[in-house]
Chains A and B, each alone.
Chain A
């Protein structure tokens, strides 16, 4: 019987297997950021331990960094201490760090692939659930907790149980105006936020093959919102073209050898999955969430659903609570929902392709009166590339703020946040209560949808824009 891509990746990293199936799994790449690492480094110090393999680690500060006036430093004391702690830990333990003012600094999940530090066939972990992003390269990548960060720093291994392989096939051609973000939201709407629990989801099918690496990253990024720790896409020419000549990627003869090995990184024809889901995307419309869980999503032509129509009591209660928090009434057309804030950024949607899609929507237009809109590029290098194309001028002319790279308003650990009651069209990944600021209301959408909403002042169907 053939192997799934997940099985190939897993099997090639098992150092030792215990009788109950728990495996000691070797980790090739460890990405580090300031929020989930300080207690891990403290643990190493307390035990007098060193790093197992320094060059497997790459660190960058992203969650707490300000996205404007960086020359002034970080004003919030606790944020500053956390970033300074990362700087000190990396210096003490010899970890490569892209510090706040390094031109390569950015969101860890944008920086890794951009640098070629994310490679096919790797196991990649980071103390951040959106590590699933890196699975777009045919790598086994997932988020870990701080105890596991410490374990990887000290041993280069993790103790893991094999997940069940699941395949989500996206059939058909992606319609104009529909993006990888809409595909991700549609998948979550279909299988639910616990739909992938215990599984690693491989995204396959013609609609996935047609996506750029940026789009595949967006899709795998939100595998965690579907409950799966890891998302995966098989390696193909798109993957190889993206990676060639990146700073951390192999070169010359080593590149050729690597490529030969990477060509096997796909599920075999006769591989069996624990679960298969097929979705035809040809008739899909742009998606927008209405509630406080990413599975609470409808097409832009849809309406806010009515909890009264939900037969399951626990779900009905969750819907009712979500509508109360979101201040929405059942039956309201999504295009009639007004917005106060637009956030274009995050590890889901802050790459060059995303900024281009958003800029196309606002070219020659102005954002609606009363709307506050910001664009936060995913990395310093994305920002530079966007500026070289003049995207910054398009955004600024339309009334957007053009910021420096970081996680920013996706989770509002820095100064960028919603005020209580504000409603945001956001290209990020989570619409949980308070995620973007206490009392803030988040609607998840694609970059084009967010940009168009900024101009209109309410949600619009970008297909008719």
Chain B
């Protein structure tokens, strides 16, 4: 995954609570066997006025009222969202779609647990800030075309255009992985001997856990 240190970028506001993973990337686009090709269908049901069956995305009619289609937010890399963002399924296609579209950080008052984990493992930074800050950011983004924020993982702060600094927290281990772009498998395999040791102990203690059919 790509490392994440500091990002200054345009903000795109998605003013809905409980945005679920079916909304982020609908199931008809989960049939690919690779990790790419999901960005064009991010928020598909809201983004297009017609269904995608049998048409190429270029032939479809974008919904001009949906934020992703508003020219003022083109190129945004920070998504501003409401509570419980990413609820629903465990599909990692959701962070893949967001990343491929260009989003690198999401600011919200809360996230669903599995989506939160999946995002961290892909270099997509979920930033939790209080409701009152989110309310203010929605108002500021609306009122100011070209509104940009800085998300700084090194100092764990969001910096507003007027210099206001809002702190956020990421677990130290996850922060380290993000800063260095480290993936979990490589990290875990450093402890191969310890895993084997645990496994041997469990085989003796609880052999029924190792029964095959």
Contact = CB atoms under 8 A, between A and B. Distances in A.
A161 B189 contact: no
B117 A314 contact: no
Contacts of A38: 33-34
Contacts of B83: 194, 314
B138 to A, nearest CB: 10
A145 B173 contact: no
A145 B194 contact: no
Contacts of B35: 39
Contact of B172 (A20, A96, A158): A20
Contact of B31 (A21, A26, A79, A224): A79
Interface in A262-296: 293
A15 B212 CA distance: 22
Contacts of A49: 185
A145 B91 contact: yes
A28 B210 CA distance: 8
Interface string B188-213: 11011011001100100011111111
A454 interface: no
A154 B199 CA distance: 14
Given A81-B33, A193-B87, A161 B188 contact: no
Given A15-B198, A159-B173, A78 B84 contact: no
A458 interface: no
Interface size class of A (residues with CB under 8 A): 35 or more
A197 B114 contact: no
B92 A145 contact: yes
Given A147-B92, A193-B87, A197-B84, A229 B174 contact: no
Interface string B92-123: 10010000000000000011111001100110
Nearest to A122: B209
A15 B90 CA distance: 24
B185 A47 contact: yes
Instruction: Name the residue in A117, A193, A258 with the highest tally of chain B Cβ atoms < 10 Å from its Cβ.
Output: A193
Contacts of B171: 20-22, 161
Contacts of A406: none
Contact of B27 (A156, A261, A412): A412
B51 A438 contact: yes
Interface string A421-444: 000000000101111001100000
B5 interface: no
A150 B185 CA distance: 8
A258 B206 CA distance: 7
Given A26-B199, A314-B83, A254 B207 contact: yes
Nearest to B202: A26
Interface string A309-325: 00000110110010000
B27 A42 contact: no
B181 interface: no
Contacts of A307: none
Contacts of A318: 16-18
Interface in A1-38: 15-16, 18-22, 24, 26, 28, 35-36, 38
A145 B114 contact: yes
Contact of B114 (A42, A78, A122, A229): A229
Contacts of A16: 191, 194
A241 to B, nearest CB: 17
A224 B122 CA distance: 22
Interface in B1-47: 15-18, 20, 22-23, 26-28, 30-35, 45
B59 interface: no
Contact of A154 (B16, B173, B185, B209): B185
Nearest to A127: B90
A242 interface: no
Interface of B: 15-18, 20, 22-23, 26-28, 30-35, 45, 51, 82-84, 87-92, 95, 110-114, 117-118, 121-122, 171-174, 183-185, 187-189, 191-192, 194-195, 198-199, 202, 206-213
30 contacts: A16-B194, A20-B171, A21-B171, A24-B194, A26-B198, A26-B202, A39-B35, A64-B31, A81-B31, A115-B213, A143-B89, A145-B90, A148-B121, A154-B189, A159-B173, A159-B187, A163-B113, A193-B87, A194-B110, A197-B111, A227-B84, A248-B212, A250-B208, A254-B208, A255-B208, A258-B208, A318-B17, A430-B20, A433-B22, A434-B22
